[in-house]
């Protein structure tokens, strides 16, 4: 441990001790930072039976700062126990941020791969794209998931293809046969987003193998790529920056979505059109992992980088952002669906018997801040819900909309406006509501909309004639 690590440990403790425990918008069942800022999920895994979730963490300022890896563990993916900071930015190759990365588990050992970010001192000639920064690939291992060994620098920018800019990051590692594969996100010097693949036989020395590209340029940077097979379908996930024009003008500043892969990105492949994981306001940088019982789980940052349009009033309470609730991913008839992990059922207490809404009857609840509400058997494409007096979820003219009535930065929306997805027919809607967030699963999780919101009144009202509504409180 060097002097910088020692000081960072002390300062982090001080910041965490100073955190206010009581605040209006603290989440109850979504992972959030002890204090300060959180962004991407990192190193998600199940190791020796325990779930581990690391996160991009800046404890000193709720608006962000130099990134380290905070660490939580859980036995059910719902209640998370904070374990402190696992990785500090304390080496020459990661001194301006222990950036995002993943966990790979083998033979009772946890391998954490991440990007060591270095941003050189301000100089006029630096554009921080092709000059003035480093993205180093780093490995740390652990035998117990609590103590982390020495950092080993594996690759630097000169080890990546020479047509890439200095933006290469977010390693995700898996094994196929006897070979280990690593995928990283990249921006070329010509400003095209893509993913690059490395191979290894020992998890330590890596060689560039190939790249994954869309047939036409798609954004200037792909962050946090992930690749997995689910129910016979190969899925390539990427968080894409730089999409412009057409439908993208109505969407978030950056997108997180996936391509269905015809073939295999390790060999011959064709990518489908890009589909969004989530159509709401707050969703970025998802990462998946496989549980011991073979489920593919995905969690994302419930936030949005470089977003000027809307804000989060929790900044004045000393923290910002949280994760999405972990979702099980499956593919049915080629349709990728997401559903809250089944462990949630253990935390639910039925508030009211299931009810069929007749005629103009509405379904209303007051006073619950955390709940799981399902409306099924929707007839005639008629659905409307209002939450916290401001957030409207409505199907109209072939679109499912998530919109706020008042888009003032001081309102429930904190500046959020309207998001939508074109959906042919609406069958069911499930709302997973925490104190300051809403995740909406439409048509068995084929479409999802996630948003933060800051309600003054815990209230929900649903209109969906002839549909069945049921609600459980999450305790």
Residues that bind ligand FRU (CB under 6 A): 39-40, 56, 67, 99-100, 115, 169-170, 223-224, 284-285, 305
Q: How far is the CB of 115 from ligand FRU (least distance, A)?
A: 5
Which residues make Cβ contacts (< 8 Å) with residue 386, sequence separation at least 6? Answer: 392, 393, 459, 460, 461
284/363 with CB nearer ligand FRU: 284
Sign of the dihedral through C-alpha 312, 317, 320, 323:
negative
Beta strands, E only, 75-188: 81-87, 98-106, 109-119, 133-142, 152-155, 164-176, 179-188
Tell me the C-alpha distance between 288 and 237, whole Å.
Answer: 9
Task: List the structure tokens of 69.
Answer: 């890896």
154/285 with CB nearer ligand FRU: 285
What distance lies between CA 340 and its chain's CA centroid? Answer: 14
Q: How far is the CB of 58 from ligand FRU (least distance, A)?
A: 9
Tell me the C-alpha distance between 196 and 187, whole Å.
Answer: 10
Q: How far is the CB of 41 from ligand FRU (least distance, A)?
A: 10
**In the 8-state DSSP scheme, what is residue 72?**
E
164/357 with CB nearer ligand FRU: 164
DSSP output for 124-137: TT--SSSSSEEEEE
345 three-class SS:
helix
Beta strands, E only, 278-406: 284-290, 296-302, 319-320, 322-323, 327-332, 335-340, 348-350, 355-356, 363-366, 371-376, 384-387, 391-396, 399-404
Q: What share of residues in the chain are helix, strand, coil (percent, to 5)?
A: 5, 50, 45
443 three-class SS:
coil
Q: How far is the CB of 350 from ligand FRU (least distance, A)?
A: 38
Q: How far is the CB of 223 from ligand FRU (least distance, A)?
A: 4
44/387 with CB nearer ligand FRU: 44
Q: How far is the CB of 301 from ligand FRU (least distance, A)?
A: 6
Q: Is 40 a catalytic residue?
A: yes
Catalytic residue, chosen from 7, 40, 163, 226, is 40
Tell me the C-alpha distance between 222 and 238, whole Å.
Answer: 6
Q: How far is the CB of 241 from ligand FRU (least distance, A)?
A: 9
User: How far, in Å, are 26, 34, 184, 316, 319 from residue 20 at the CA level?
Assistant: 10, 9, 37, 11, 9
**Helix and strand tally (H, E) in the chain?**
1, 36
57/383 with CB nearer ligand FRU: 57
116/445 with CB nearer ligand FRU: 116
Give the bridge partners for 51, in sequence order: 46, 74
154/387 with CB nearer ligand FRU: 154
Active-site annotation, residues: 40
């Amino acid at each position: 441990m060097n002097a910088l690590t020692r000081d960072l440990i002390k300062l982090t403790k001080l910041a965490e001790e100073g955190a206010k425990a009581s605040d209006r918008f603290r989440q109850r069942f979504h992972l959030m930072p002890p204090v300060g800022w959180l962004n991407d999920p990192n190193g998600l895994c199940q190791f020796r039976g325990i779930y581990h979730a690391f996160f991009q963490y800046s404890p000193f300022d709720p608006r962000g700062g130099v990134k380290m890896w905070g660490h939580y563990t859980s036995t059910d993916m719902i209640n998370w126990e904070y374990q402190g900071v696992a990785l500090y930015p304390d080496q020459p190759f990661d001194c301006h941020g222990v950036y995002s990365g993943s966990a790979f588990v083998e033979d009772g050992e946890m391998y954490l791969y991440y990007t060591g970010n270095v941003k050189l001192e301000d100089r006029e000639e630096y554009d921080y794209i092709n000059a003035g920064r480093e993205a180093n690939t780093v490995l740390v291992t652990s035998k117990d998931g609590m103590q982390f060994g020495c950092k080993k620098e594996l690759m630097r920018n000169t080890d990546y293809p020479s047509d890439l800019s200095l933006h290469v990051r977010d390693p995700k590692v898996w094994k196929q046969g006897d070979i280990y594969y690593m995928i990283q996100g990249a921006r070329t010097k010509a400003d095209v987003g893509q993913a690059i693949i490395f191979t290894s036989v020992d998890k330590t020395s890596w060689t560039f193998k190939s790249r994954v590209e869309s047939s036409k340029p798609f954004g200037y940077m792909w962050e946090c790529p992930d690749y997995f097979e689910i129910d016979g379908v190969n899925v390539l996930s990427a968080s894409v920056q730089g999409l412009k024009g057409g439908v993208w003008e109505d969407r978030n500043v950056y997108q997180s979505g996936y391509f269905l892969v015809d073939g295999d990105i390790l060999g011959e492949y064709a990518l489908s059109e890009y589909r969004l994981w989530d159509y709401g306001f707050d969703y970025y940088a998802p990462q998946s992992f496989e549980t011991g019982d073979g489920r593919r789980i995905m969690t994302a940052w419930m936030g949005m980088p470089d977003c000027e349009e809307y804000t989060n009033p929790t900044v004045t309470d000393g923290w910002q952002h949280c994760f999405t609730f972990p979702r099980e991913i499956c593919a049915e008839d080629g349709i990728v669906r997401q559903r809250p992990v089944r462990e949630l059922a253990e935390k639910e207490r039925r508030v009211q018997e299931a009810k069929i809404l007749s005629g103009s009857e509405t379904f209303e609840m007051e006073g619950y801040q955390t709940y799981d509400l399902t409306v099924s058997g929707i007839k005639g494409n008629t659905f409307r819900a209002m939450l916290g007096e401001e957030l409207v979820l409505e199907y109209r003219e072939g679109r499912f909309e998530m919109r706020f009535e008042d888009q003032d930065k001081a309102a429930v929306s904190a500046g959020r406006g309207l998001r939508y997805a074109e959906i042919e027919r609406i069958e069911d809607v499930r709302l997973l509501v925490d104190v300051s967030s809403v995740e909406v699963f439409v048509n068995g999780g084929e479409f999802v909309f996630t948003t933060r919101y800051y309600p003054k009144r815990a209230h929900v009202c649903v209109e969906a004639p002839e549909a069945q509504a049921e609600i459980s409180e999450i305790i």
